[in-house]
């Protein structure tokens, strides 16, 4: 029952995001391309990651009680990745940030949810990490998995934003469609290179499962330090209106609600550290969301009043 409910909820969220993307596709096809490419990208890296890591400590596999699979990955997992990337990129796109720093925030917005989501998922048996007990790594989750979440989101966001710039820049409009098709495998290969370098450094230093967490937090700090505010607000890639804001809020709210519900139901709330992490994650989410969308409604009301 739990697994079916999770699948249904994720499918609904994807449909809501798809509706938002289709609404804007007449004037701006980037939103539809973003959502669909993120879905394909997730199918690629999830299946390849399981294949490449098989037989090693830190590999993983999914529960076989879900309804719909693509190879070894439940389809809802790829849909979840797609909606998380889609909503994160819309949030950072509205903020007054330098364009090249937005992928760093995108990655942090995704890991903001994963810090507690993975802890819940493994305790519910949604997927299983090989050779990891609940006390290893990040409460049973390999720190390299969280590092992977950073790189996965960053590389996709960076390449997507680069290849979908305005028509008057370096990207030739005639080859833009080709870039769309190439983006998922290119992003995965780039992510794999970055991830392999981190793994190599950890092997050379002979880090333990606990010590690998220092690498994760160092990368989180680095990503945060890379975010820069622009002197003038750069152009947005995506159209944002009331429905878009609703979809973004609902998607991320449901993820956090699921995490909170699981914390209470499974007794995870008894872990004070995880409680603090969850509270800080939600607080950061509220602050970022307000910074991105809080003034849009006020601005719209001023425009409406100006017509009278």
Q: What is the pLDDT of residue 27?
A: 58
Q: Cβ–Cβ contacts within 10 Å for residue 272, how many?
A: 8
List per-block mean pLDDT (blocks of 10 residues) for the chain, which spans 308 residues.
90 96 76 94 93 83 92 95 96 91 96 94 92 87 92 95 64 56 90 92 88 92 92 81 93 96 94 95 94 66 36
Exposure letters 70-101 (e unless 16+ CB within 10 A, then b): eeebbbbbbbbbbbbbbbbbbbbbbbebebeb
Q: What is the pLDDT of residue 29?
A: 79
Residue 216, C-beta contacts closer than 8 angstroms, at least 6 positions apart = 138, 143, 146, 147
List Cα–Cα distances, 95 to 27, 30, 107, 224, 249, in angstroms. 21, 18, 15, 15, 15
pLDDT digits (tens, 9 = 90+) for 116-130: 999 999 999 999 998
Q: What is the pLDDT of residue 238?
A: 86
φ/ψ of residue 53, rounded to 5: -95, -5
Q: What is the pLDDT of residue 136?
A: 85
Task: Name the residue range of residue 62's domain.
Answer: 2-306
The C-alpha angle 238, 94, 245, rounded to 5 degrees, equals: 75
Which residues lie across from 74 on neighbouring strands? 69
What global pTM score does this model have? 0.90
How many residues does this entry show for the chain? 308
Q: Cβ–Cβ contacts within 10 Å for residue 28, how many?
A: 16
pLDDT digits (tens, 9 = 90+) for 248-264: 999 999 999 999 999 99
| Ramachandran class of 131: left when φ > 0, alpha when ψ lies in -120 to 50, beta otherwise | left
CA distance 225 to 230: 14
φ/ψ of residue 218, rounded to 5: -65, -40
How many domains, the chain? Answer: 1
Q: What is the pLDDT of residue 73?
A: 93
Q: What is the pLDDT of residue 300?
A: 46
Q: What is the pLDDT of residue 302?
A: 40
């Amino acid at each position: 029952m739990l697994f079916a409910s999770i699948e249904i909820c994720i499918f609904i969220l994807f449909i809501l995001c798809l509706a938002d993307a289709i609404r804007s596709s007449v004037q701006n096809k980037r939103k539809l391309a973003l959502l669909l490419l993120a879905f394909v990208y997730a199918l690629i890296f999830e299946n390849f990651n399981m294949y490449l890591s098989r037989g090693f400590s830190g590999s993983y596999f999914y529960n076989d009680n879900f309804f719909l699979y693509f190879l070894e990955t439940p389809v809802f997992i790829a849909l979840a990745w797609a909606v998380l990337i889609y909503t994160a990129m819309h949030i950072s796109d509205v903020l007054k940030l330098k364009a090249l720093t937005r992928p760093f925030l995108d990655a942090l917005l995704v890991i903001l949810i994963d810090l507690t989501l993975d802890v819940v998922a493994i305790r519910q048996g949604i997927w299983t990490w090989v050779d990891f007990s609940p006390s290893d790594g990040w409460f049973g989750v390999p720190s390299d998995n969280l590092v992977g979440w950073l790189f996965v989101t960053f590389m996709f966001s960076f390449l997507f934003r680069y290849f979908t710039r305005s028509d008057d820049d370096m990207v030739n409009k005639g080859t833009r469609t080709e870039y769309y098709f190439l983006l998922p495998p290119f992003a995965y290969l780039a992510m794999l290179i970055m991830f392999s370098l981190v793994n190599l450094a950890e092997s050379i230093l002979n880090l333990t499962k606990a010590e690998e967490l220092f690498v994760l937090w160092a990368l989180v700090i680095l990503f945060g330090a890379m975010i820069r505010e622009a002197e003038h607000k750069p152009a947005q890639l995506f159209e944002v209106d009331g429905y878009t804001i609703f979809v973004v809020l609902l998607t991320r709210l449901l993820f956090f609600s699921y995490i909170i519900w699981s914390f209470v139901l499974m007794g995870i709330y008894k872990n004070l550290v995880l409680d603090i992490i969850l509270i800080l994650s939600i607080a950061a989410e509220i602050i970022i969301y307000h910074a991105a969308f809080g003034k849009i409604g006020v601005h719209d009301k001023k425009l409406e009043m100006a017509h009278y």
